[in-house]
Structure 1
């Protein structure tokens, strides 16, 4: 490996994956741990059905391409912001090298950044050409080639023009209220710093709900266990976002723990925040009620999802040695959902989750002492 390539990989690629490990862990979770064998098919059959739907349904293909584009934009934002930091000014020494060679190096950087997408593209191409779905498979390939080529060209443009404005997608939470509430600080963080993770989580959860309920006749199909399983996978996927919020509170808002605010009011503030965070799913469920969901079933989904969010928040009142330990607890909750689904006790589990969230919060809040662990993200 050349010195220039090694320098670029250590300066841009490695920090990108460290910063976005939470998002990538969530995607891995919903693509593997969130599926399992509870639906009666194996992992290979699930991904084959997913790729087949992508290559045979134009709307699904457009959605996947949009997600890939959003990921590429996130990569471009990271590179652009890094190049504009004084600590990375040494990278501009690459301008002393021939532009064609610099472009090839930046193309390798882009390929490494898009590695999760390109790895899955290999399977998409293989299945697409094997099943003679040449047009959508070729379209997916060309789209990724454009992302790689244009991304490397954009990075070269930024290197050659240090004063250029970096590519940014700004999403600011408007200051409507003069008085700042604790909930508003959490919402501002989600919409400004965690917007990509928020969008991916909500897109998966709302799309899964909407598609699973499409065409369902509640008078003929009363079993909602499989829908509850996938719904719980999406809700537990919020654990990454909840974890990052708690890191924000522990590092930048620790003063709040010393304010004279009753614990009941603190819990009510978290309830209000997670109500706001849960709003997209509530709207999706309401849109499918009563045509595809009975009111009782809709109430269960709302109560179940809200209880999971509160429980994830209460679990953050423990110190974890690393991110893996925290994700193990989240996975155990999913296994509990699977057991309850098999035993037909999902309603009882929703009550247990909600009660456990309240008990843990009131028991652990003042006993919890945040510890700064470098392994946590």
Structure 2
């Protein structure tokens, strides 16, 4: 490895993965550890069904490509922000080298940043060619090549212009959301700081619902336990986003805890916020009712998912030494779902989750003393 490549990797690639470790761990958990062999559905079968959906269904493929594009934008934002920091101004010396050589080095940087997507693309291409789903497989490949080439060109542009940013894209809330209620602060944080994590979680949940419910006849197939298991995995996947929200509250909105606001009103504000957060799943569920879900089943999924979100929020009223300890509790909730699935007590568990979320919130809110989390 030459010195220029080593400097670029240490300056851009290593910090990127260190900063986004929690997000990547979450994606790995969703794509591997959350998939068990309950009812004969294993890891390979799950990913085969995902790839088949990508390569045989144009809307689903577009959704996946949109996710990959969002990840590429996040990579681009990180590199752009890094190049604009005075501490990394030494990277501008690379612009003195041959343009083709610099572009090749930056393309290698982008390929390393895009490694999670590239590794999955290998499986997509292999299955696509084996099953003769060649057109969509080629489209996915060409899309990734185009995105990586454009990103490398953008990095070269920034190097040549000393990090000057010709335009700025900012997420701004609509004028309808100018009113500064507490839930709006949380919504603003998600839109500005948690876009990618929010998008990944929602894509997983909505895509899982689509794939599991596609072609289902509710009159003939009355067992929804397996669907509830995958759905709960996606809802519990919100745990990292909820954790980051609470870290933001503890550092940036701690003054609110001293205001004379009744705890019932505080709970209602969180309730509205998590209802907003749950809207994509609600839309996905309603769109499949009553063709693939009965009204009772749809109501169960909405109640179950909403209760999980509220419980994740209430669990944040305990101090965790690090993110790993919190994720252990999230994993325990998932095991509880598995036990309830085996014993056919999912409805009972959903009621327990909802009631427990309320009890913990009212019991812990004023007893909670936030401590700085070293992970975030």
CA distance in 2, matches of 1:318, 1:328: 13
Counterpart of 2:244?
244
1:300-356 CA-to-partner distances (Å, cap 9, x unmatched) read: 111111110011001111222222222222122111111111110000000111111
- Residue pairs, 1:265-276, within 5 angstroms: 265-276=265-276
CA distance in 1, matches of 2:69, 2:12: 19
Counterpart of 1:184?
184
The answer to whether residue 356 in structure 2 is matched with residue 356 in structure 1 is yes
Contact 1:158 1:166 in 2 (8 A): no
CA distance in 1, matches of 2:291, 2:55: 29
- Residue pairs, 1:89-168, within 5 angstroms: 89-162=89-162, 164-165=164-165
CA distance in 1, matches of 2:166, 2:317: 38
Question: Which stretches in structure 2 are left out of the alignment for 5+ residues?
Answer: none
Contact 1:33 1:331 in 2 (8 A): no
The answer to whether residue 57 in structure 2 is matched with residue 66 in structure 1 is no
1:78-125 CA-to-partner distances (Å, cap 9, x unmatched) read: 212222233322221222222222222211211110010111122223
Counterpart of 1:25?
25
- Residue pairs, 1:195-214, within 5 angstroms: 195-214=195-214
CA distance in 1, matches of 2:348, 2:6: 54
The answer to whether residue 318 in structure 2 is matched with residue 313 in structure 1 is no
Counterpart of 1:80?
80
Counterpart of 2:345?
345
CA distance in 1, matches of 2:174, 2:119: 39
TM-score of the aligned structures, taking structure 1 as reference length: 0.92
TM-score of the aligned structures, taking structure 2 as reference length: 0.93
**Residues 129/292 of structure 1: CA separation in 2 closer, same or farther (3 Å cut):** closer
Contact 1:81 1:166 in 2 (8 A): no
What secondary structure does 2:273 align onto? helix
Counterpart of 1:14?
14
Contact 2:80 2:163 in 1 (8 A): no
CA distance in 1, matches of 2:291, 2:122: 40
Aligned CA RMSD, in angstroms, stands at 2.1
The answer to whether residue 223 in structure 2 is matched with residue 223 in structure 1 is yes
The answer to whether residue 5 in structure 2 is matched with residue 2 in structure 1 is no
**Count of residue pairs the alignment pairs up:** 376
**Residues 166/315 of structure 1: CA separation in 2 closer, same or farther (3 Å cut):** farther
CA distance in 1, matches of 2:233, 2:269: 25
- Following superposition, the deviation at residue 39 of structure 1 comes to 4.1
**Residues 142/174 of structure 1: CA separation in 2 closer, same or farther (3 Å cut):** closer
The answer to whether residue 320 in structure 2 is matched with residue 298 in structure 1 is no
What secondary structure does 2:38 align onto? coil
Contact 2:340 2:349 in 1 (8 A): yes
Question: Which stretches in structure 1 are left out of the alignment for 5+ residues?
Answer: none
- Following superposition, the deviation at residue 177 of structure 1 comes to 5.8
CA distance in 1, matches of 2:146, 2:53: 23
1:259-278 CA-to-partner distances (Å, cap 9, x unmatched) read: 12222221111111111111
CA distance in 1, matches of 2:177, 2:125: 51
What secondary structure does 2:366 align onto? coil
Contact 2:107 2:149 in 1 (8 A): yes
CA distance in 1, matches of 2:262, 2:368: 16
Contact 1:173 1:192 in 2 (8 A): no
CA distance in 2, matches of 1:192, 1:260: 28
Contact 1:77 1:166 in 2 (8 A): no
CA distance in 2, matches of 1:249, 1:121: 38
Counterpart of 1:282?
282
Contact 2:121 2:141 in 1 (8 A): yes
Q: Please say which of residues 99-108 and 248-257 is displaced more in the overlay.
A: 99-108
